[in-house]
Structure 1
Amino acid sequence: MVQNQPGVLQMIRAPFLSSILSPLLAGTLLAVAVNQSFSLLGFVLVMVMGIGLHAATNVYNDIYDTLQGTDRVNVHRNQFSGGSGILIRFPELQGKMFFLARFSLVIALLATIGLMFVIDRALWPFLWGLYLLSAFFSKYYTAAPFKLASRGFGEVSVLFAFGPMAVLVAAVSQGVGLHPAVLVAMPITGLSTLSILLLGQLIDLPADKETGKLGVAARAGTKATAYLFVLVQFLLISNVLVLGLGFMKSSWPVLISLVPYAAMLPSIAHLAIQYHDNEDELKKAAGKNVQLHLAFSILLTIGLGFCLLT
């Protein structure tokens, strides 16, 4: 039976683009609260920039995980971790996927250039520094010679890319730099995305170890990584509490984003710790954690939106 080739949305793993939307929306809303003004053009351009960079990251990750053998030996691939497996089923698409990754970076580059005409010149160094570092992470998270994910820097790059870097570039697109409100909120979304990565590493551990992709799970072990996952979630909760209760009197609506944590985190943490070396049970935890991530991201955006009305 002939398989239909995947489309562009499948190749860029479009459902995972939600991970970049939350920090971009958070940074934008915080900047609007600070500046009391909104640039529609700046918002559109930073969304194009962020989505372009994330799409390139997803495609490059798929390409190099396949070329380095990780995806080929991964028997626990699922919708939450382990890559798409597109190049295993359709190796003839490698050239197209390289083009797609590069094209996504070019689109992000054009959006970055466009933002130069929207923001103050004093913010240009932030804009270009963030684009260049993001583009570097995009390719070299898995690609040689740096292979960040294989050398213990993958977790740090994910934390920064989906937290401080994305939040800051969104704020910059609205004409705001390192304002205290932006600084306090920077880690939140990065911690949320990092939690997804950590459970994914536990599921993919056998394949990662076999091919030398040595993230924190391969280096520290499954039990320690499960506890690290829980710690990351509690750091996120603490960060939201600081933003909502201890920083600005008008930011209390962001606390609604913690409602899903009260409802879902106990069972997810139990699964992660109890079954830290059981891939099948971890897949259940990963599925619930993605649901938690999405619910949190939506409510965080809504909460920040309500902050503008208080």
Structure 2
Amino acid sequence: MMGIYRNWFLASRPWSFTMTAISVSVGSALAAIDGPFDWPLALLALLSAILLHAATNLINDYYDVVNGVDTVQAATAQYRPHPLVEGLLPREHVRLVAYGLFILAALIGIYLTLVCGVVVLIIGLVGLLAGLTYTAPPLKYKYVALGEVSVFLMWGPLMVEGAYFVQRQSLSISAFWVSLPFGVLVALVLLANNIRDIDHDHRRGIRTLAILLGHRLGLNTYLSLMVLAYAGILVLALTGVLTMWVLIIFASFPLAVKLLRQMKRAVPANADALTAKLDTAFGLLLVVSLIIEGLVG
């Protein structure tokens, strides 16, 4: 019985939820700086976002397997557990559980809409549509080089602004600007994955941004966007959008340099996981800087 629970747990890719937790925490922390803070609403927003993320992971894997993209030969299945590829979970059960999680996320979203306002509904519907059609028909936009754009928008502006709105019942231009660097880094997780999988994905007949750019230009884009994310933090500090506390994020810069050197030498099999590790360090430092700003100004 424990093995079944473990398979479901791993299939949801729980290690990726840190990115969702960080995006929601950034929006919530910015809202706390601007006024009173409601913990129950913040936790509901976080729970809804994580349920939506888990549902998206499951439905993504389901259609990747059905469409022949994820196989036992895929690099993803070589370095991380992939219960669906390994035949440890029935495909149809994965699809149904994914839809169930989408429904649970939607129910929380409806409650937050009633309490906080219609903007929550709009953001939630966009997120729901993005998650449902990532690899599923009719859009299947992951297969037409739009995955990185979607990830940037979801984990950047939409998730951060959504968490902010739940607290303040208004949107914030500052939250928008603050969301951009972290959104870029989350998108780089997918770009790293797709650079590694260029040959495999090409054989499977799908088009990713990495395939359109090619290996060399894809790596240069990865490098440039990572530098841009850190430059964005510097701009936020110098323009007064955030206080100088945000510069503690540069404590993670040596990790970024190490990762870029690795990627230039040879794209590692766990390139996406290594990028996610950097994202976590960057994002946690961002959240810490916002907490400090809220406490001491």
Query: Within the alignment, does 1:251 sit opposite 2:247 as a pair?
Result: no
Aligned to 1:46: 45
TM-score by length of 1: 0.88
Structural mapping, 1:9-28, within 5 Å: 9-28=9-28
1:42–1:118: 8 Å Cα contact kept in structure 2?
A: no
Matches within 5 A, 1:223-234: 223-234=216-227
Q: How big is the shift at 1:308?
A: 0.1
- Asked whether the equivalents of residues 251 and 307 of structure 1 are also in contact (C-alpha less than 8 Å), the reply is yes
Deviation at 1:8, TM superposition (A): 2.7
Q: Given that residues 77 and 85 in structure 2 are in contact (C-alpha distance below 8 angstroms), is that contact kept between their aligned partners in structure 1?
A: no
Residue among 167, 171, 175 paired with 1:174: 167
Question: Which residue, out of 274, 277, 289, partners 2:275?
Answer: 289
Distance 2:151 2:36 in 1: 30
| One-letter amino acid of the structure 2 residue matched with residue 208 of structure 1 | D
Question: Deviation at 1:72?
Answer: 1.4
Partners of 2:73 and 2:46 lie apart in 1 by: 33
Q: What SS class does the counterpart of residue 214 from structure 1 fall into?
A: coil
The answer to whether the Cα contact below 8 Å between 1:141 and 1:147 also exists between their aligned partners in 2 is yes
Structure 2 distance, partners of 1:18, 1:185, is 18
Q: Which residue of 2 aligns with 1:199?
A: 192
Q: Supply the distance in 1 between the matched residues of 2:16 and 2:216 (Cα, whole angstroms).
A: 26
| TM-score, length basis structure 2 | 0.92
Cα distance in 1 for residues equivalent to 2:59 and 2:282: 27
Comparing 24-33 with 230-239, greater Cα deviation is found at 230-239
Is the CA contact (8 Å cut-off) linking 1:205 and 1:218 kept in structure 2?
Answer: yes
SS at match of 2:42: helix
User: Which residue is 1:306 aligned to?
Assistant: 292
The residue number in structure 1 matching 2:202 is: 209
- Deviation at residue 271 of structure 1 after TM alignment: 2.3
Alignment RMSD (CA, Å): 2.1
Task: Please state how far the C-alpha of 1:55 moved relative to its aligned partner.
Answer: 0.6
Matched, 1:94 2:94: no
Counterpart for residue 266 of structure 1: 257
Q: Percent identity?
A: 23
| 1:16 Cα deviation from its structure 2 partner | 0.9
Name the CA distance, whole Å, in 2 between partners of 1:88 and 1:67: 10
CA-CA distance at 1:285 after TM superposition? 4.8
8 A Cα contact 1:43 1:173, kept in partner? yes
2:148 to 135, 148, 155: 155
Deviation at 1:86, TM superposition (A): 1.8
Following TM superposition, by how much is the alpha carbon of 1:131 offset from its aligned partner in structure 2, in angstroms?
Answer: 0.8
User: SS at the partner of 2:145?
Assistant: coil
Aligned residues: 294
